[in-house]
Structure 1
Amino acid sequence: MNTIRTTLAGKEIVLGITGSIAAVDGVKLAHALRRCGADVQGVMTDAACGILHPDAITYATGHETLTRCGGLVEHVTYCGDGGSADLLLIAPATANTICKIAHGIDDTPVTTFATTAIGSGMPVILVPAMHESMYRHPGVCACLETLKTWGITVVDPRIEEGKAKIANIDTIVHETERVLSGMPLRGKSVLITSGPCRERLDDVRVLTTRSSGRMGKELAREASRLGAEVWLVHADTLSVPHVRNVYAESAGGMRESILSLCAEQTFDYYISAAAISDFAPAPYEGKIPSGQTISIDLLPRPKIIQDVMQAKNRPKKVVGFKLGWNSREEARHLLDAGADMVAANTPDALGAETGAYELMTTETSVHAEGTKAEVAEILWRNLQ
């Protein structure tokens, strides 16, 4: 499903496309950037035009694709001092283009835009794509290192089948979001719990909740977009991209993982967004026979957030989630116990794509409502 986001709303991005076969991904990339709210202007080299027709990029961006720098000095209009663009993204960037940019050679529209953008101090992202042997060439490697020292962001390729293939579109968009966010959380460490726990009932059954883990994942993605290094503790066997995934299935496993991580370092933020089990059944050995009525003893589990707040390496800021019809009252108790913020919500949000939350501190209360991604943006905006 293609999701509409606002992470790039109001941003103008110049998309430079050079002569790699990965140029064919330009249409999908332009669409993905626009779905995040960006205004995209395409610029193509002659070599790129031999692979992908400029009309395809014109269709994808809604603007006439630039294939030459003319009398309107478009490279200055967009990327010069006071230019209208916010970012130059070159994807794909060939070995030829990378080395030209590193040596100030601008004999194609894309390299001319690059020279202008670098000279004006505009953010630039390069996404290399070429054969692996070319990517290993010492001259290409040296040029990439030079560009990095100039503050240019290089999105590493995927090394597959003897090729340095262009990074996937989600990664390119994510790096674009990071650069244009200004990365206010750069250098910060974030620990987040997400999703349901599964408590063993017998050898085949578990007790769990309706939690989808969507809220925790969106909080992790947003923290990464803002420049943080993120650890996400969850029971989902599918890894969440751009963060460090830590697998923990039960409340006990989650507690062990969290306390172990907190013993190793002091996190700047801990966000307890998981639906952590308050109770676990007394485990039944074997499989409970079907067709009969049974009683199950539910044993209380420790409150992990309390353990974290009392740990020697207590995170600098602790955020809890309180779910229930009296969640706001329970949130106040958690604030009194030392939490810095509590997101209170009713059970309607559990497992849903949207939700309504009260982001409460000891002094303020902010209403956050919308998709889980939108709520994550609001929460981080109020937490920094």
Structure 2
Amino acid sequence: MSVLSGKKVLLGVTAGIAAYKTANLVRLFIKSGAEVKVIMTPASKDFITPLTLSTLSKNPVHSTFYDKEEEENELWNNHVDLGLWADIMIIAPATANTLSKMTNGTCDNLLLATYLSAKCPVYFAPAMDLDMYKHPSTKNSLDKLQSYGNVMIPATSGELASGLVGEGRMAEPEDIVSFITNDILSTLPLKGKKILITAGPTYEAIDPVRFIGNHSSGKMGFEIAKTAANLGAEVFLVSGPSFQKVNHSLIHRIDVKSAEDMYIACHKYFADVDVAILAAAVADYKPKNIATQKIKKKDAALTIELEPTKDILKSLGEIKKHQLLIGFALETNNEVENAKSKIERKKLDLIVLNSLRDEGAGFATDTNKINIIDVDFNQNVFELKSKKEVSKDIINEIINKLYA
């Protein structure tokens, strides 16, 4: 998954020979996890068919202000709705004619009307012949459009449709997607930050087939990892046994089983990160002796001697330097007092408290209800939300701390 995953991309196609490349451009946006809608100028349909782009985008392609469903039944294409729908608008190819109209506010087709209504970032990829690209009027259009806040994806040099060689070729689809991805990343609040996150349970072996564990699903930790990565952070996700899935170019998943495995992994990455969020439900105890063979069932009671596992959170608190350290507390009584004590004992910057007494909170649910407490014991209590939304609340608190 890339930062484009879940983004709504509105692609405007104008009448240049490079329009044939938009089929691959749509495919690449879809592959990145984006939802794509396409607006074509009427003349652009001479270079690529709406059917091609509709099939690839899985959405109707719009070209005029209304579609004739029947002879007397016309369906209006609302340019305002299209402009407001988009998270990103990209005009590719952007011909000299369209660039000039964008610069001067000329509004004689659906694409230009939508451009003028768009509230999202607008990218444009110029495409024209060498002499047109070098003309002072084109340079004026390029400069003015950027002064309006639009982002230009520079044309490249190469062989042009006229046979000339020089600037004016539209950037290749792969380069357009890469450009937009990098531009988005550069504006994200966690760009350049490294975050260590733990998630899920740990399994402490009793014998080759049995273990001590808990009901943690890992959902909360995985959602935090996704949210952090979507805001530009490079994430090291240390996960105990979990069925949760993640596919993101900025998330490195490290699978572990036991508390000892998680301890080793956390200490491996901690020195190089800016933030550590320990959301895993680590076992507090483990069997002192692990049987090498499966323990056979007997009528007599079975006694297993337990010993404490290493306290990962406390061990990181003792060696932290520049890092923000965030812990979790799942309590059943005296919740706030226990959480405050944990902050002091383990040298935390924040603690995320949830109570099993709150309906919808805790293990294996899709929701959570949290109270975030900082080192000065200031509390921020949130209502019951989905774990995806809760992860945003947690990351926002961390961002506030990072840039305070």
3-state DSSP of counterpart to 1:51: helix
Equivalent residue number for residue 59 of structure 2? 57
CA contact (8 A) 1:281 1:296 kept: yes
Q: Unaligned regions of 5+ residues in structure 1, if any?
A: 1-6, 34-39, 91-97, 106-113, 127-138, 156-174
> How many Å separate the matches in 1 of 2:76 and 2:368?
36
Instruction: State the match for 2:101 in structure 1.
Output: none
SS in 2 for 1:153: helix
Query: What are the residue-to-residue correspondences of 1:1-384 with 2, within 5 Å?
Result: 13-16=9-12, 19=20, 33=35, 42-44=38-40, 46=45, 47-53=48-54, 57-58=59-60, 64=77, 71-72=107-108, 74-79=110-115, 84-88=118-122, 100=127, 120-122=148-150, 143=171, 152-154=179-181, 182-235=187-240, 236=242, 240-242=246-248, 243-263=251-271, 265=272, 267-282=273-288, 283-292=290-299, 293-311=301-319, 313-326=320-333, 327-337=335-345, 338-347=347-356, 348-361=361-374, 362-368=376-382, 369-384=384-399
TM-score of the superposed pair, with normalisation by structure 1 = 0.66
Give the structure-2-normalised TM-score: 0.64
In structure 2, the gaps of 5 or more residues are 14-18, 63-74, 80-90, 99-105, 134-141, 155-166, 400-404
1:124-182 CA-partner distances (Å, limit 9, x unpaired): 899xxxxxxxxxxxx9999469968xx93258xxxxxxxxxxxxxxxxxxx97x57xx4
Identity, % of aligned positions:
22
Deviation for aligned residue 1:285 = 1.9
Q: Look up the SS of the partner of 2:52 in the other structure.
A: coil
Change in CA separation of 1:116 and 1:370 when aligned onto 2, cut-off 3 Å: farther
Deviations along 1:271-324, one digit per CA (max 9) or x if unpaired, are 00000111112312210113543111221112111100111x545211100012
Distance in structure 1 (CA, Å) of the matches to 2:174 and 2:168:
10
Distance 1:56 1:308, change over 3 A: closer
Per the TM alignment, residue 63 of structure 1 is displaced from its structure 2 partner at its CA by 8.4
1:343 partner SS:
strand
Tell me, in whole angstroms, the C-alpha distance in 2 between the residues paired with 1:100 and 1:357. 52
Tell me if the contact between 1:192 and 1:232 (Cα under 8 Å) persists in the aligned partners: yes
Aligned pair count?
Answer: 314
**Cα distance in 2, alignment partners of residues 201 and 48 from structure 1:** 64
Q: Is the 8 A contact 1:79 1:122 kept in 2?
A: no
Q: Whole-Å Cα distance in 2 between the matches of residues 373 and 63 of structure 1?
A: 36
Contact between 2:25 and 2:174, CA under 8 Å: does it hold in 1? no
Q: For 1:85, give the aligned amino acid.
A: K
Deviates more, 1:302-311 or 1:232-241: 232-241
Compute the RMSD of aligned alpha carbons: 4.5
Segment of structure 1 superposing worse, 269-278 or 199-208: 199-208
For the residue of structure 2 that corresponds to 1:152, the secondary structure is helix
**Alpha-carbon deviations, 1:325-365, whole Å to 9, x = none?**
13322210122232111111123421111010111112421
Change (3 A) 1:21 1:215: same
Which stretch shifts more, 233-242 or 116-125? 116-125
Kindly indicate whether the alpha-carbon contact (under 8 Å) linking 2:202 and 2:214 is maintained by their aligned counterparts in 1: yes
Letter in 2 for 1:380: I
| 8 Å Cα contact 1:194-1:274 kept in structure 2 | yes
Deviation at residue 381 of structure 1 after TM alignment: 1.3
Contact 1:341 1:360 in 2 (8 A): yes
Contact 1:344 1:360 survives alignment (8 Å): yes
Q: Is the 8 A contact 2:196 2:237 kept in 1?
A: yes
